[in-house]
Amino acid sequence: MLRTCRSWPLLMVVVLLFSACGQPPWNNPYPASQSGENILYGAFTERPKHLDPVRSYSSNEYAFIAQIYEPPLQYHFLKRPYELVPLTAHALPEVRYLDANGKPLAADADPDRIAVSEYLIEISPGIQYQPHAAFAKDEEGAYRYHDLNTQAVARINTLDELPETGTRELIAEDYVYQIKRLATPWLHSPIAGLMGEHILGFQALSEKIEDEAPDPVNGERPFFDLRQVAFEGAEVIDRYRYRIRLEGRYPQFVYWLAMPFFAPMPWEAEALYGQLGMEQNNLTLDWYPVGTGPFMLSENNPNLRMVLTRNPNFHGERYPGAGMPEDQAAGLLEDAGKPLPFIDQAIYSLEQESIPYWNKFLQGYYDSSGVSSDAFDQAIQFDAAGEAGLTDDMREQGIELVTAVQTSIWYMGFNMLDPLLGGDSERARLLRQAISIAVDFDEYISIFANGRGVEGQGPIPPGIFGHREGEAGINPYVFDWRDGRAVRKPLDDAKALLAEAGYADGRDPETGRPLTIYYEAMDAGPDGKARLNWMRKQFDKLGIELVVRATDYNRFQEKMRKGTGQVFMWGWNADYPDPENFFFLLYGPNRKVDGGENAANYQNPEFDQLFERMKNMEDGPERQAVIDRMTEIIRHDAPWSFGFYPKAFSLHHQWLDNVKPNLMANNTLKYRRLEPEIREQLRERWNPPVLWPIGALVVILILGSIPALMVARRRERSRAR
């Protein structure tokens, strides 16, 4: 008996070893029931704050809501440069211009004469909403859950507790309703201020809603039906057509129509969530979206996972039949004309730390991944020409790499209100230009971004109209064109500029001491130390002493708003692919100290005048010429050192198809196609349970216990004597 008991750990090990043969992977984080299913697995690192399209404005939120909500337009998945195409709209909007007397004007009319721009949008009939409790009706046709009593509401904690669902057809009124929501003060839309400048009567509507809406009860705003509020800026023409009126001309408005801000919102959803007690129980549009898109949010637990499931009522969009010439070879047109979406479900798990995220990707439990700094050397290598490629290990695993220069810029800004660096004096301008030469962003990209970036030559990144490639696109104040590439000017040129500015060897002529410049940094943590030391060294090349004022992001923003900083680094991510979205960061009336986004507080009358003209022009040679002149002004005045355009690297497994980076579109999940059988096979091959360590541990424990037992027995015997 005793002998049997002693040998059971060994028996267990043997049983375990045999039982592991042919079993599915033990480390599979997903239930066995999902095995072989057409489910895409991804991760999110930061929980989305808002899912209400009126408030949502960040990429981690768009990753979800762009699959659910459908604005009238979208970006073509494959074509470049980015091209707007209809989504729920029947066609691109018809734009009509009117003068101050309401008379129609020609499309090429002088922008100064245009008093009103009218956008007529016609949506396709027959589009249905996802099944949702807001649409559920009883036998008499009354809404099932729109008039719940307080006790009933108090018992509801999730939307699943309202089991009946319904749907209805998408109508033009839903789009107008959402535009009115943008103006609703308590919904805090981030673009309310901007739209107030453009949509006719937007401010008045906002005030009207504030006046007419019922007051909050216990902090909750009762349902206020916005359909009853008249609005000249957006009106329903008929069931499928609506019209938006803008003040003057604003050609970039069409891009906003491809963003979730302008997605439809059924009044029934607000009527459901607007019942008192719903908000207290976390039942809001910020948590339970309602859309017409290819997917619906079937599980919203941002502390664990978010699940998008195929919308059974989706209107049947098809995969694009045309793209770029290289798309055919890349296999991106193999699914042309097939109905979307291809996958049944997408499960996104919360992964706050990069190491487990990366390891689970390598094990095949995530279909795609970014490349964190920790894993960069393991995944990426550069060839002699500086081109990024995968390491042998990654290639053996069948992993594929996709890179794209982002429509973003990281720049070093000089505060133009600063007495030393700012202003339009020749002295300050030469000083800024000298610094721009000295701060080597190519080195920065290499050291701190693992080579993931392209040195900036102007404010407009590649992929946006107005950006010029090659020799014509270099910043001649900082770079020379040599051997077919842009080469940073030698440091002696910077020193010469500095001397010309009156700061020979970087010394202040008044004090004879090195010139001191203050750098406002937002990365006060230990990670930022190396970056800040590097920045100090760049200035030191000119003999300038850089004093770093590191602080947190809140204080940094405060300094920017007050215009008290001197030099800083900041970035901008494009809202839409138009040069206006970058040049406005340097537009005089948009200065940060006046509440705008122009953090350098730059102001140049000629530039501002050209900006006013450029923003109203159609893309073409004339607009390019204006942009070239604006770029030249900025390069000459140097309120920014153009830093770099970040480059996105993403990896995906061989079983994920139709992956093409589209930096403007967020609704690309519907194009993804999976081969789950391959995934299943490879997961099993990559993750066999390794059981010998358990056996080894048991053996070590047994072997280790033998001398201990001997000592114990000897001790007890010695005492017995």
Partner 1 sequence: MSAYILRRLLYAIPILIGVNLITFLLFFVVNSPDDMARMQLGDKRVTQEAIDTWKAEHGYDKPLLFNADAGGLGTVTETIFFDKSLKLFAFDFGQSDSGRDIGFDIRQRMWPSLAIAIPTLLVGLAISVSYALMIVFFRATYIDFGSVVLLVAMMSISGLFYIIGGQFLIGKLFHLVPISGYDTGLEALKFLILPVVVGVVAGIGSSTRLYRTFFLEEINRDYVRTARAKGLRERVVLFRHVLRNALIPILTGVVAVLPLLFMGALIIESFFGVPGLGSYTIDAINRQDFSIVRAMVFLGSVLYIIGLLMTDISYTLVDPRVRLS
Site string for partner 1, 558-577 (x = CB under 8 A): -----------------x--
Which are the contacts of 111, defined by CB distance < 8 A and separation ≥ 6? Answer: 248, 249, 613, 616
Task: Please identify, using beta-carbon distances, which residue of 147 and 558 lies nearer to partner 1.
Answer: 558
682 scored as a contact of partner 1 (CB under 8 A): no
Q: What angle do CA 136, 141, 146 make, to 5 degrees?
A: 50
Spatial distance between the Cα atoms of 625 and 362, rounded to a whole number of angstroms: 48
Using the minimum distance from each CB to partner 1, give the nearer residue, 242 or 572: 572
Closest to partner 1 by CB, 29 or 490: 29
- For partner 1, the binding residues in 485-504 under the rule CB under 8 A are none
Determine contact, residues 322/367, Cβ cutoff 8 Å: no
Contacting partner 1 (CB under 8 A), which of 192, 213, 388, 521?
192
Residue from 157, 328, 373, 609 touching partner 1 (CB under 8 A): that is 157
19 is a contact residue toward partner 1 (CB under 8 A): no
Cα 66 from Cα 77, distance rounded (Å): 14
By C-beta, is 377 or 505 nearer to partner 1?
377
**Rounded least distance, CB 79 to partner 1, Å:** 27
For position 183 contacting partner 1 by CB under 8 A, the verdict is no
Q: Could you say which of 6, 90, 155, 188 contacts partner 1 (CB under 8 A)?
A: 188
Query: Beta partners for 123?
Result: 89
Q: Judged by CB under 8 A, which stretch of 148-156, 160-168, 354-362, 504-512 contacts partner 1?
A: 354-362
Size, binding site for partner 1 by CB under 8 A: 61
- Joined together, the tokens standing for residue 712 give 């114990």
| Binding segment toward partner 1, per CB under 8 A, in 180-188, 229-237, 267-275, 542-550 | 180-188
Nearest residue (CB) to partner 1, 28 versus 624: 28
The answer to whether 592 contacts partner 1 (rule: CB under 8 A) is no
557 binds partner 1 (CB under 8 A): yes
Say if residues 695 and 17 touch (Cβ distance below 8 Å).
Answer: yes
What is the C-alpha to C-alpha distance for residues 671 and 657, in angstroms, rounded to an integer? Answer: 9
Stretch near partner 1 under the rule CB under 8 A, chosen from 86-94, 184-192, 503-511, 659-667: 184-192
Position 186 contacts partner 1 (CB under 8 A)? yes
Q: Residue 407: which residues within 8 A CB-CB, separation 6 or more?
A: 461, 463, 464, 573, 574, 577, 663, 664
Q: Is 279 in the site for partner 1 (CB under 8 A)?
A: yes
Among 47, 76, 529, 549, binds partner 1 (CB under 8 A): 47
Residue closer to partner 1, measured from CB, 337 or 707: 707
Count CB-CB contacts under 10 A for residue 601: 24
Phi-psi region of 102 (alpha: psi -120 to 50; beta: other; left: phi over 0): left
546 near 519, Cβ under 8 Å? yes
Structure tokens at 369: 């991944």
Q: Minimum Å distance from CB 410 to partner 1?
A: 15
Binding residue for partner 1 (CB under 8 A) from 349, 406, 538, 581?
349
Q: Are 646 and 452 in contact (CB under 8 A)?
A: yes
Select 280 or 425, whichever has its Cβ closest to partner 1: 280
Among 284, 309, 564, 681, binds partner 1 (CB under 8 A): 284
* CB of 223 vs partner 1, minimal distance in Å: 16
The Cα 604–Cα 607 span in angstroms is 5
- Using rule CB under 8 A, residue 194 touches partner 1: yes
Binding status of residue 23 toward partner 1 by CB under 8 A: no
Per-residue burial over 438-465, b if 16 or more Cβ lie within 10 Å, else e, is bbbbeebbeebbbbbbbbbbbbbbbbbb
Closer residue to partner 1 (CB): 492 or 716:
716
Taking CB under 8 A as the rule, which mask of x and - marks residues 597-616 in contact with partner 1? x-------------------
| Residue 668 DSSP one-character state | G
Q: Which is nearer to partner 1, 154 or 449 (CB)?
A: 154
In a 13 Å sphere around the CA of 711, the CA atoms on its Cβ side amount to 5
- Does the footprint of partner 1 cover residue 219 (CB under 8 A)? yes
Q: Which is nearer to partner 1, 594 or 606 (CB)?
A: 594
Q: How far is the CB of 173 from partner 1 (least distance, A)?
A: 27
- Which C-beta is closer to partner 1: that of 599 or that of 659? 599
Residues 643-662 close enough to bind partner 1 by CB under 8 A = none
Kind plus residue range of the DSSP H or E element containing 377:
helix 373-379
Q: Applying CB under 8 A, does 154 fall inside the site for partner 1?
A: no
Residue 191 Cβ vs partner 1, minimum distance, rounded to whole Å: 6
For residue 328, give every residue at least 6 positions away whose Cβ sits within 8 Å of its Cβ, in sequence order, or none.
none
DSSP 461: P
Selected from 689, 695, 698, 699, the binder of partner 1 by CB under 8 A is: 689
Instruction: Give dist(CA 445, CA 442) in Å, integer.
Output: 5
> Of 385, 554, 620, 706, which one interacts with partner 1 (CB under 8 A)?
554
Find out whether 486 and 662 touch, Cβ atoms under 8 Å. Answer: no
450: region left, alpha or beta (phi > 0 left; psi from -120 to 50 alpha)? left
Cβ neighbours for 338, distance < 8 A, ≥ 6 positions apart:
318, 319
Q: Can you tell me the distance from the alpha carbon of 694 to that of 112, in angstroms, rounded to the nearest whole number?
A: 79
- Which part of the chain contacts partner 1 (CB under 8 A), choosing from 24-32, 398-406, 418-426, 513-521? 24-32
Largest CA distance in the chain: 120
Secondary structure letter of residue 623 according to DSSP: H
Out of 58, 425, 533, 654, the only residue in the binding site for partner 1 (CB under 8 A) is: 58
Q: Looking at 120-128, 168-176, 248-256, 352-360, which segment touches partner 1 (CB under 8 A)?
A: 352-360
Instruction: Give the amino acid at 501.
Output: A
595 part of the interface to partner 1, by CB under 8 A: yes
CA angle 56, 579, 91 (to 5 degrees): 65
Which residues does 700 contact at the CB level (< 8 Å), separation at least 6?
Answer: none
Which of 190, 370, 473, 661: binder of partner 1 (CB under 8 A)? 190
Q: Does 301 bind partner 1 (CB under 8 A)?
A: yes
Q: How far is CA 656 from CA 46, 122, 305, 344, 406, in A?
A: 23, 35, 21, 14, 22
Nearer to partner 1 by C-beta: 92 or 350? 350
Judge contact between 196 and 202, C-beta under 8 A: yes
CA distance 265 to 285: 10
Q: What CA–CA distance (Å, rounded) separates 153 from 442?
A: 59
Binding-site member from 14, 91, 217, 304 for partner 1 (CB under 8 A):
304
Give, as ranges, the residues between 693 and 712 that touch partner 1 (CB under 8 A).
693-694, 708, 711-712
By CB under 8 A, residue 719 contacts partner 1: yes
Query: Counting beta carbons within 10 angstroms of the beta carbon of residue 714, is it exposed (0 to 12), middle (13 to 18) or buried (19 or more)?
Result: exposed
Task: From 158, 285, 176, 297, select the one nearest 231 (Cα to Cα).
Answer: 176
Question: Which residues is 568 bridged to in the sheet?
Answer: 413, 520
Closest distance to partner 1 from the beta carbon of 181 (Å):
15
- Name which position in 248, 688, 698, 699 contacts partner 1 (CB under 8 A): 688
> Between residues 186 and 382, which has the closer beta carbon with respect to partner 1?
186
User: Judged by CB under 8 A, does residue 512 bind partner 1?
Assistant: no
In the DSSP assignment, the letter for residue 187 is G
In the complex, least distance from residue 179 CB atom to partner 1, rounded to whole angstroms: 17
Q: Footprint of partner 1 on this chain (CB under 8 A)? A: 25-29, 31, 47, 49, 55, 57-58, 157, 185-186, 188, 190-194, 219, 279-282, 284, 286, 301, 303-304, 349-353, 355-356, 359-360, 362-363, 365, 552, 554, 557, 575, 595, 597, 687-691, 693-694, 708, 711-712, 715-716, 719
